[in-house]
Amino acid sequence: MPQVNSVYRHREFGAPLTTLADYERAGGYLGLKDALALTPDDALYAFHRSGLRGRGGAGFPMGRKASFLPKDTGRPTYIVCNADESEPGTFKDREIIERNPFQLIEGLTIAAHAVECERAYIYIRGEYEAQAKVLDAALAEARGAGRLGPDALGEGRPFDITLYRGAGAYICGEETALLESLEGKRGQPRLKPPFPAVAGLYGCPTLINNVETLAALPPIMHRGPDWYGSMGPEKSPGTKIFSVSGHVLRPGNYEVVLGETTLRELIFTMAGGLRPGRHVKAVWPGGSSVPVIGEGSLDVPLDYESLNGVGTFLGSGGCIVMDDSECIVRACHRLAQFYRHESCGKCTPCREGTGWLARILGRMVAGEGRGAEDIRMLESLFGRISGRTLCALADGAVMPVQSALELFPEEFAHVAEHGSPAPAPMMGEPVG
């Protein structure tokens, strides 16, 4: 059950690394030094070799994505860091930004060297204003120290980072919606292709990565891609942060080596387990957009392939744990409301379908269900939404609910007839 604080360097250090001096004392900026000693192509190759996959949700190999960027287009190349972190149950990037902001800055600088970029943007969700201020200060300090600015990449190669604040919209975490938002538009996803690597920000080649992905780069460059690649399974090596929340006694972020920790260990050993007498009923291991799994799957090792093996995804690593005190339909209704609220409205199945799902589930919870008819309608709606939309938000809205219906058919049937039991009073049985 190895816990390795590679991205969470501040945990290793024992204190937040919010000054450049502290960060450097903790080994910061050694990765950049090593990266700059390589040619951009070699740095890119190191990303490849490390096996690092995107940590934002989709898990796309980071080096491969970076290698898609066309070179010498005569137009600028941009890097955009996705710090929108709005996936329910996910708060891992927040801690990086709050406590270890320089590692993100260093990671971005390394990536800039590899893809030969002069300006990066960090798109941070509007609700992270407190965190944005930490980042602002860190950026200013880095700039003051010459770590950003006209000579950030050495040999007169400039690089700087702009922090861009969102204003409250989950969909802006979807990469093309993010780009639209960053371009001053309504944050609605774009049709792909073209992919951002080819035509991203302002139509220019753009590398988009999650905070955690980019913050993983400094140790990779310093300790070497082979070190990183040696951790965990061959196909998806390295460390991953899981944000554990819900009915656990010690909610929080846990950085683990992929494949070497089971979900059970994460929940019971790291996150402190459940209240006495409670059982795990349902877990959304990768944020709210992934299929839910039950108690029977707790021994799954936490890595991309193993989680796929039990019918779910690693996703963002936002692990939401629910015990047997809660009604599954009520939980699903809550999620459906989230997706309904966050649907951007651009495409029909999602705009209309998420609301429809929420209304059916709402009726069921309220005891106004229509029994089997509602269940059939839900099943039919899942099929009419998923796989037919412009972006993955809608699939993310369907999967957690559809899987719950498959996992708890009797409970759904019961609630469809009789409604949800009243929620257990919070005071009666405090959690954690």
Residue 54 binds which one of ligand SF4, another protein, ligand FMN, none, with CB within 5 to 8 A depending on kind? ligand FMN
Tokens of 415: 């609630």
- Cβ contact 106:153 at 8 Å: no
Does residue 100 bind ligand FMN (CB under 6 A)? no
Which residues lie across from 120 on neighbouring strands?
Answer: 79, 161
Contact flag: residue 393 with ligand FMN (CB under 6 A): yes
Q: Which of 57, 101, 189, 291 binds ligand SF4 (CB under 6 A)?
A: 189
Shorter beta-carbon distance to another protein: residue 151 or 368: 368
Chain residues 129-148 in contact with another protein, contact rule CB under 8 A: 129-130
| Beta carbon of residue 263, minimum distance to another protein (angstroms, whole number) | 16
Strand, helix or coil for residue 299: coil
Residue closest to ligand SF4 (Cβ): 350
Q: For ligand SF4, what does the binding mask look like between residues 150 and 179, x meaning CB under 6 A?
A: ---------------------x--------
From 110-118, 142-150, 294-302, 349-357, span contacting another protein (CB under 8 A): 349-357
Residues numbered 87 to 126 that lie near another protein (CB under 8 A) are: 87-91, 93-94, 119, 125-126
Query: For ligand FMN, which residue has the nearest CB?
Result: 54
Count of other CB atoms within 10 angstroms of residue 2: 11
Separation between Cα atoms, residue 133 and residue 194, nearest integer Å = 34
CA pair distance 298, 261, nearest whole angstrom: 11
Which uninterrupted H or E stretch holds 354? helix 348-365
Closer residue to ligand FMN, CB minimum distance, 189 or 369: 189
Q: Does 344 help bind ligand SF4 (rule: CB under 6 A)?
A: yes
Site membership for ligand FMN, residue 398 (CB under 6 A): no
394 binds ligand SF4 (CB under 6 A): yes
The H helix count followed by the E strand count for the chain is 19, 8
Q: Are 371 and 410 in contact (CB under 8 A)?
A: no
| Beta strand residue intervals within 128-279, DSSP E | 160-165, 206-210, 239-246, 252-257
- 244 Cβ contact list (under 8 Å, min separation 6): 250, 251, 252, 253, 254, 266, 267, 270, 271, 319, 321
- Residue whose CB is less far from ligand FMN, 20 or 62: 62
Asked if 284 contacts 319 with a C-beta cutoff of 8 angstroms, the reply is yes
Q: Give the binding site for ligand SF4 (CB under 6 A).
A: 171, 188-189, 343-347, 350-351, 389-391, 393-394
